[in-house]
Amino acid sequence: MKGKRASKGPSDDELEPRAHTSREPVPETPSEREAEAERPPLPAEVVPPKPLGVPFAEGVDRPVWPLRTRHPRRGVVSYRGVDGKVRGRWGRRFAAPREGRKGKRDRNHAGIDLFANPGDAVLAIADGVVTAVQSFHLGSWAVFVEHGQAVVMYGEVQKRSWSQLGVSVGARVKAGQPIARVACMTRDEDGACTSHMLHVETYAPGTTQNHRWYAGDEAPPALRDPSLLLLHAAQEPSTPPMA
């Protein structure tokens, strides 16, 4: 029997988040200006992302791609360039509109969805400290890692997958270290997974919970645009593409 494909809702959590946080101080890292000076520029053929009124996530030197995957679209960043064109997939980009459901308000996509397969290893984009975990979208979870000048929320991961990898709140992690696994959020009637990705949000230091960005409102002050950070991560050759 042909399965019925379940539709994917907005990537922000529909549930009230349950957060587990750490107050352990984050180790000192180079200043944002020093990290920017050490990071190589984007290749000439990569169109920079268009500023959308939300600061870009900065201060992470040589970020690595946050997935180890066989997905054919590994390394694709969905974003709107300074030329006005959308690369990747329109609905996966930062600030893409999300229609409210069940009486909830419309909102803007607070992160970027990266192509991945269920069970893929989620990798720390840089050295950092795990500061929180919380429940997230459709039964998935999210892991927060503070990487010096930026907090990355690795969302839509399997529940307790971090602990299976020896990672816990307060743990220090290294760039490229597996910290979680991609979740399957919906399945069709035949059991095939129909919704699987890594949802990445970025925030100012000290953030330990995701923030919704409602349509018509100013973006939350702590929110950062991950487009530029992920474009830099996509250029790093250090992460092998095999699962």
- Cα–Cα–Cα angle for 158, 74, 197, nearest 5°? 30
Give pTM, 2 decimals.
0.83
* Contact call for residues 32 and 229 (beta carbons, < 8 A): no
Say if residue 210 is exposed, middle or buried (CB neighbours under 10 Å; 0-12, 13-18, 19+): buried
- pLDDT on residue 189: 87
- pLDDT for the residue numbered 38: 59
Residue ranges of the chain with per-residue pLDDT less than 70:
1-39, 237-243
Distance CA 207, CA 215 (A): 22
Tokens of 91: 């609905």
- Provide the residue ranges of all domains of the chain, joining segments of one domain with +: 57-235
- Cβ within 8 Å of residue 186, ≥6 positions away: 6, 8, 138, 193, 194, 195
Helix (H) or strand (E) holding 36: helix 32-38
* Amino acid code (one letter) for 100: G
- The pLDDT assigned to 60 comes to 93
Contact predicate 172/190, CB 8 Å: no
What is the Cα–Cα distance from 110 to 222, expressed in whole angstroms?
A: 11
Selected from 3.30.70.580, 3.40.50.720, 2.70.70.10, 3.50.30.10, the CATH number assigned to the domain covering 57-235 reads: 2.70.70.10
